[in-house]
Structure 1
Amino acid sequence: MQKKFLKIEGFGEFFTGFLWFFSLVLTNAFVSVKHAEKLAHRYGEPYGSLILTFAATAIEFTSIWDIMSSGEKNLTFPRDTVYSIIMIVLGGMVGTTLLVGGIYHKEQKINLEGAKAFLSVIVPMAVLILILPNFTRSSPGPTFSRFQTLFYIFACVFLYLLFLAVQTISHRRYFFLDDLDDLEQAVHREKIVPFHHGLMLIVSLLFVVFFAEKLSLAINFGIEKLKIPKVVGGFIVALLVLLPESMSAINAAIHNSLQRSMNILLGSVCATIGLTLPLLLSISLLKNDTILLGLGQVEATLVVLTLFLCQITFSGAKTNILQGAAHLLLFFSYLIMMFD
């Protein structure tokens, strides 16, 4: 396989360009998350997790849109990326944080009400957007009709905004264990200058946008010329977006703050389905493009299994390494089915 790729004209330039721009985007993504974390410590939970989530969402949307709009139209790319984000976060990263937290602390506590609030948004939106299109008859293929697309854009955004109101106004206590979570951060708040970190966050995100456009050319070359499976492109973008956030979540689990880990990870999935995907669908409607949404049978099965396992994991107030191992099993199944 490697010799076959090496014979393709432009492979060396593709590989070098891909590594170079991937590194630049990833570096700036880490910088943006670093400054978002400083703002998170300044404002406390749940606002801290929201800042991280919105920073990651900006990177995510930019990366997906650049790849969609460059080269040949890749109308499955949003679906592939959202699918990858669900499997990486709910399978790989939730599994890793539970496993690491279990190794360090044996058991960790989580606020069940907060976990249920996240899942009450994630589960219906994921199934309706990624599985239901396989069974609709009003449009050809695994797609929604124009009216259905408008309805689900509205439904996803409305549900996500309602969730934000619950998270930040009416039920804030669901998203931290006790007042100590905020008290531990309050010690550092006076030392943090919001303007500086806010400015650096914006600058680093602009660099991400610039280099993501260059990276999209390399990914499209790999998909079109090297015949790399399109879902691998979605995996690369998802990994790029999620890696800095995931490091923050794992670090929080090591310091016995699993609630913050789940706020970051589950919040990123909520924002992907509730903000990024509706925005991409809206743009596709304006451009008269039809995004293919329905997953294949294997992918749909893995998504349903992962959502079901999340319901089981977050049905109790304590977690341990066994639950982490179960989530990682589904994540590795996702990797095997993607590359084999």
Structure 2
Amino acid sequence: MITRPRELITQWTALSPMAAVVLLVLTWGRDLPGVLVAVMTVVLAAAVLAAVHHAEVVAHRVGEPFGSLVLAVAVTVIEVALIVTLMADGGDKSATLARDTVFAAVMITCNGVVGLSLLVGSLRHGIAVFNPEGTGAALATVATLATLSLVLPTFTTSAPGPEFSTVQLTFAALSSLILYGLFIATLTVRHRDYFLPITRHGEVITVEEHADAPSARTALISLVMLALALIGVVGLAKGVSPTIEDGVEAAGLHHAVVGVIIALLVLLPETIAAVRSARRDRVQTSLNLALGSAMASIGLTIPAVALASVWLSGPLVLGLSSIHMVLLALTVVVASLTVVPGRATPLQGGVHLVLFAAYLELAINP
């Protein structure tokens, strides 16, 4: 049954994003009592579920892989705006914010989302199948972007500490934009079939058979609601972050845990969408979401913070620690071995999830 546009705006999936934005406007920049934080958390959860719904409506209208791209880019653009805002307010203490957020996004998507999608898809359907050509190209781009932006600053000597000089930062920003642009062109124009779901026999699925596509007007309304939901999710996540910081400090945990929790909240819509795709035996769509989000996080964040560094005071630390570089290298190696066959069992999903658990453990106990 297709929902009409007039009916769509009266459903909870439309009301919750609007409620999230209204609550965000009323609470922005204020000290919040515990009861209001609890209310914000409930509204945030509703906005996450609404974002997933509207993303699926848009994806059904435009088809894959455009649907995955819409959600990944939308989340990342808002995430980048949040990072720049926090850096402008934080001074020297926010010097590592961009690095920590981008690396958290890479580990969450490439291990957490990928591992969960492969595990769910293979357990439900016996084996998870996907296109190794498109997935391998996306993984190679993520690995290159992560190395250029997060690993090299640790070893360069033009600037003190794990930082880029102005020329090096400009090169990293331009490289990120170029590679991300090439990926978008490959994804949407030149080799779109590499990123479409496939059958057990390797045939590309170009048309979904489960329902008629929504109208253009319905899809447009869902696109607007998706944007509102994501603004609400990221903004409310920032609003509850002081409470999270207090809880992390009270528990005696490392401050990096705060960044991990915020990243988990921001990436929750994509995680739910990826798992639901895996349950429908569309693991390629899940991988498009995961790797596309990791790529967008690097490809858009690094140029944004490079531009923002022109007027922001304080250092911009991008280089990873030795522990994180080991985790990144292991992730790339394991993901490469996962992608090459084009098929995965629960074992591969479990390996990625263990790597994700190791990242969380080291964030709590570095």
- Partner residue of 1:275 out of 300, 314, 328: 300
| 1:48 counterpart residue number | 67
Query: How much does 1:183 deviate?
Result: 1.4
CA contact (8 A) 1:223 1:229 kept: yes
Q: Give the partner amino acid of 1:147.
A: V
Structure 2: give runs of 5+ residues left out of the alignment. Answer: 1-30
Distance 1:183 1:316 in 2: 24
Query: How much does 1:302 deviate?
Result: 0.6
For residues 122-154 of structure 1, what are the alpha-carbon distances to aligned partners after superposition, in whole Å with 9 as ceiling and x for unaligned?
011111211111111000110000111011101
| 1:67 counterpart residue number | 86
CA contact (8 A) 1:57 1:268 kept: yes
Further displaced range: 161-170 or 189-198: 189-198
CA contact (8 A) 2:48 2:229 kept: yes
CA contact (8 A) 1:54 1:271 kept: yes
Q: Give the partner amino acid of 1:37.
A: E
Distance 1:103 1:63 in 2: 37
| 1:312 counterpart residue number | 337
Aligned CA distance change for structure 1 residues 22 and 150 (closer, same or farther; 3 Å): farther
Aligned CA distance change for structure 1 residues 231 and 209 (closer, same or farther; 3 Å): closer
Q: Does 1:184 align with 2:208?
A: yes
| 2:6 counterpart residue number | none
CA contact (8 A) 1:39 1:48 kept: yes
Query: How much does 1:206 deviate?
Result: 4.0
CA contact (8 A) 1:175 1:259 kept: yes
Distance 2:327 2:245 in 1: 26
CA contact (8 A) 2:197 2:283 kept: no
| 1:153 counterpart residue number | 173
- Partner residue of 1:323 out of 339, 348, 359: 348
Further displaced range: 195-204 or 44-53: 195-204
1:176-215 residue pairs with structure 2 within 5 A? 176-178=196-198, 181-184=205-208, 187-191=211-215, 193-208=218-233, 210-215=235-240
Query: How much does 1:67 deviate?
Result: 3.2
Q: Give the partner amino acid of 2:300.
A: L
Aligned CA distance change for structure 1 residues 102 and 40 (closer, same or farther; 3 Å): same
Query: How much does 1:264 deviate?
Result: 0.8
Q: Give the partner amino acid of 2:75.
A: A
1:180-259 residue pairs with structure 2 within 5 A? 181-184=205-208, 187-191=211-215, 193-208=218-233, 210-218=235-243, 229-259=254-284
For residues 34-69 of structure 1, what are the alpha-carbon distances to aligned partners after superposition, in whole Å with 9 as ceiling and x for unaligned?
212211110101111111112211332243334333
How many pairs does the alignment contain? 329
1:160-179 residue pairs with structure 2 within 5 A? 160-178=180-198
Aligned CA distance change for structure 1 residues 27 and 280 (closer, same or farther; 3 Å): farther
Distance 1:326 1:49 in 2: 24
Further displaced range: 283-292 or 81-90: 283-292
Aligned CA distance change for structure 1 residues 19 and 78 (closer, same or farther; 3 Å): farther
Question: Over aligned residues, Cα RMSD in angstroms?
Answer: 2.6
Query: How much does 1:281 deviate?
Result: 2.5
Query: How much does 1:336 deviate?
Result: 1.4
CA contact (8 A) 2:77 2:300 kept: no
Query: How much does 1:236 deviate?
Result: 1.4
1:36-115 residue pairs with structure 2 within 5 A? 36-71=55-90, 73-115=93-135
Further displaced range: 38-47 or 72-81: 72-81
CA contact (8 A) 1:63 1:237 kept: no
Structure 1: give runs of 5+ residues left out of the alignment. Answer: 1-11
Distance 1:189 1:103 in 2: 29
Query: How much does 1:186 deviate?
Result: 8.3
| 1:290 counterpart residue number | 315
